[in-house]
Amino acid sequence: MGSQVLLIILLALAFAGFIGGALAYTRPPPRETLFFSLDDPTTPQQVHVSTAGPNNVRVSWITNLTAPSTINYGTSPGAYVSTAQGNSTSYSYQSYQSGLIHHTVIGPLQPSTVYYYQCSNDDSRSFNFTTPPAQFPLNLIVIGDLGQTGWTQSTLQHIAETSYDMLLLPGDLSYADYDEPRWDSFGVLVEPLASQRPWMVTPGNHDVEKEVPPAKFTAYNARWQMPYAESGSDSNLFYSFNVAGVHVVMLCSYTDFDQGSDQYAWLQNDLQSVNRQVTPWLFVLVHAPWYNSNYAHQGEKESVDMMQSMEPLLYQYQADIVFAGHVHAYERFTRVYDGQADNCGPVYINIGDGGNREGLATDYMDPQPSISLFREASFGHGELNIMNGTSALWTWHRNQDDEPVTADSVWLTSLSAYPCSN
């Protein structure tokens, strides 16, 4: 009898410990900042791909030596039946001199197709990427504030195990600030993924050079060329594109955004041109969040003033989701407009938890605002499975003990699917 009582007590304690562990998840500390060197600096390196207008892909890479901006490609390994020629650039910053940065657009390409390619006629390395689908379903990965740490590696490993079509990054890529070699390190780090699927990015505050002489986004603009010209923008810092049935708008928190600015005028024209019959979903990405119940980055003009300027536009054209980074934590809001729950407003999701070197922002406002539905200071990444023109499943995966644990999940309905009313 005594042994039975003891067993019951032990089981009860074990169960209580399990429940307590589930409720009291210990937030992980920052991990070491990493630096990735080139295995062979003479060959094409830091390869990544992005969309470049309908049915086209831009391939970007760097060579330390003079080399042609040529891409040879085809749909079978080693059978490069097509060739495209691009251009190259370089830049210097203080004592740093970049290699040759090549950008070459290839296409037209078929959707949902694997293409094999080589850069600069170099036979020593070969790559492949898969084009996004032309129709739903579409699977997007969303990560912000990625950086180059042990947690970054964990996040990228989880993404590599996912079947996805495109990656969206709302700012703070390399955390180089003004340490230019860290851009090279970042290119090496992300190449295994970024050379296989389109990476669509917008800049954050850690992508700005901060030292004298003053320069803004010198490295970012040279290395990560996005389809701005294809979308009618005159700046690589803000642009848009279509993928399957989604229109994606990428905005910049760190260039002018008031109602007299080029960015505002471009955004207004871009939103006016969206056909929700063709692209029933409308997503917007920006670095500094407009809604945030974390104490980190409260009251910054890039959040407050930009929201005041542009929020009415997004509401007018019924944006479905606004993704942001900057705050090193995860938070999901209900549909919001002008600080209040509103069925016609966007869902706001802050996802600045990719793996930055500064650690997590753990200090939240208490009580939790009613418009904030889920918040947690953990590293992780998001996945958006868009099933059709009406329904999408959003999932946030926490990096718990290096395992991608599903911590938040919600079904969303496009605002274009029903008459919007409050």
Catalytic positions are 297
Residues 6+ apart with CB under 8 A from 176: 182, 183, 186, 206, 207, 219
Residue 367 DSSP symbol: S
Closest CA to 219 of 245, 246, 253, 181: 181
The two tokens of residue 404 are 């991608």
Return the SS3 of 329. coil
Length of the chain: 422
User: Which residue, chain included where needed, has tokens 């606004």?
Assistant: 322
Q: How far apart are CA 353 and CA 359, in angstroms?
A: 9
Closest CA to 147 of 168, 165, 171: 171
Closest CA to 226 of 177, 285, 157, 139: 285
Q: Is 78 left (phi over 0), alpha (psi -120 to 50) or beta?
A: left
Return the SS3 of 408. strand
The two tokens of residue 68 are 């042609």
- The answer to whether 414 and 387 are in contact (CB under 8 A) is no
Q: How far apart are CA 269 and CA 212, in angstroms?
A: 36
Closest CA to 49 of 228, 227, 285: 227
Q: How far apart are CA 274 and CA 271, in angstroms?
A: 5
User: Which residue, chain included where needed, has tokens 């890039």?
Assistant: 302
In the sheet with 100-106, reading across from the earlier edge strand, the strands are 45-51, 57-63, 100-106, 87-89
User: How many Cα atoms within 13 Å fall on the side-chain side of residue 153?
Assistant: 12
Report the Cα–Cα distance between both ends of the chain, in Å, rounded. Answer: 63
Name the residue type at position 19.
I
Q: Is 94 left (phi over 0), alpha (psi -120 to 50) or beta?
A: left
H or E segment to which residue 94 belongs: none
